[in-house]
Amino acid sequence: METEKSCIAIDAGGTKMLVAEVASDGTVFNVKRYPTGRINQRELVKRMIDNIKDFEDSFGWAYGNQPVLMGIGIVGNLDIKHGIWNFIDHEFVEPTPLAAIMKEEFGVTCYIDNDVKAATIAECVFGGAKDCRDMIYINVGTGLAAGTVSNGRVIRGADNYAGEIGYMNFNMGKGPHLEGIASGIGLNQRRKELLPEYPDSPLRERENEVISGQTVFELAKDGDALSQRMLEEAVQTVALLIENMSCVTAPETVILGGGLVADGWLAARICERVKDKVKARIPKGIHLSSLNPNYTGLLGAAAIGLGYQKVF
């Protein structure tokens, strides 16, 4: 890993981009949020460059000079060896030499990685898996994905696409994939599928809106049967996911992160649902991430920028 005092960290997701300067110990000096929305790779890279320049104009740099390291955690598939961002998803496919673009624009050494794999490394560097060589990080947010560390190394697969667990299916190929149940996308999808069975649900009045997890939590607490069912499905799905994944890699710990579990309410119920005999095989337990949920992606990007890909 590098020994510079800080790096420029960029967390580029599907709806927002965060730009920050992060110290080598994980201290976030300054951070600024920028909207993105569903745009193509070329436009997102252009905005990234503009946003970094705006960030510098807004805050300057903690140690006076611009950091010489940059880390980017970004949605989609990447060739981390060559610094190429292959695609966002199968709709937006435009291989982009992201690391080289940033080096030319800002004169930095830039490392890139998938956002969830970056967050997984952050858990091992700054979070609850510091002393673990075998762990699973499950991100339950807008989508559903996982990062797995086995014998001290992130499992990446042949094309760095390992961990896209949202495409898994526990229903013999029938019904939705896991992401269609246990994610922000899933809650909105299941609401549309199940509304005909719940004509009196308050969600009927909002069927043309994109609902947040918080809305579903509040309605469930107020007794809405549809919201309660959707959350019960999400709990059961992630609990089964933990049970299945733990059979494959035998982790020391499982860490839950992402916006849908950030307040702890859903995470606690997931932990309760995992079978005791499975918990007994996870010696350091199943935990909600100890990292600030607002900054997990940034800390992942910082871990990448500081060179921890070489370690993990």
For the segment 283-294, what is each residue's pLDDT rounded down to a tens digit? 999 999 999 998
The one-letter amino acid at 154 = V
Q: Which residue, 149, 151, 181, 177, is CA-closest to 164? A: 177
In the chain the first and final C-alpha atoms are separated, in Å, by 10
**Boundaries of CATH 3.30.420.40 in the chain?**
6-123+294-310, 129-288
- The model carries a pTM of 0.93
Please check whether residue 279 is in contact with residue 83, taking contact to mean a CB–CB distance below 8 angstroms: no
Please check whether residue 235 is in contact with residue 201, taking contact to mean a CB–CB distance below 8 angstroms: no
Angstrom distance (rounded) from CA 59 to CA 50:
14
From the first residue on, what is the mean pLDDT of each consecutive set of 10 residues in the chain (312 residues)? 82 88 95 86 93 97 94 93 86 87 97 96 95 96 94 93 92 87 95 95 90 94 97 97 96 96 94 96 96 93 95 91
CA Rg value for the chain: 20
Q: Which residues contact 30 (CB under 8 A, 6 or more apart)?
A: 20, 21, 55, 58, 59, 62
CA of 234: how far to CAs of 91, 189, 197, 237, in Å? 26, 12, 18, 5
Strands 109-114 and 93-96: unpaired
For the segment 118-165, what is each residue's pLDDT rounded down to a tens digit? 999 999 999 999 999 999 999 999 899 999 999 999 999 988 889 999
The predicted pLDDT at position 15 comes to 76
Please check whether residue 306 is in contact with residue 25, taking contact to mean a CB–CB distance below 8 angstroms: no
Any idea what DSSP says for residue 255? Answer: E
The predicted pLDDT at position 92 comes to 66
The 10 Å Cβ neighbour count of residue 51 is 19
The predicted pLDDT at position 1 comes to 61
CATH fold of 6-123+294-310 reads Nucleotidyltransferase; domain 5 (3.30.420)
Q: In what order do the strands lie in the sheet with 153-154?
A: 153-154, 144-150, 135-140, 253-257, 286-288
Please check whether residue 40 is in contact with residue 91, taking contact to mean a CB–CB distance below 8 angstroms: no
The 10 Å Cβ neighbour count of residue 308 is 23
Any idea what DSSP says for residue 143? Answer: S
Angstrom distance (rounded) from CA 110 to CA 197:
51
With 0-12 CB in 10 A as exposed, 13-18 as middle and 19+ as buried, what is 175?
Answer: exposed
CATH number for the region 129-288 comes to 3.30.420.40
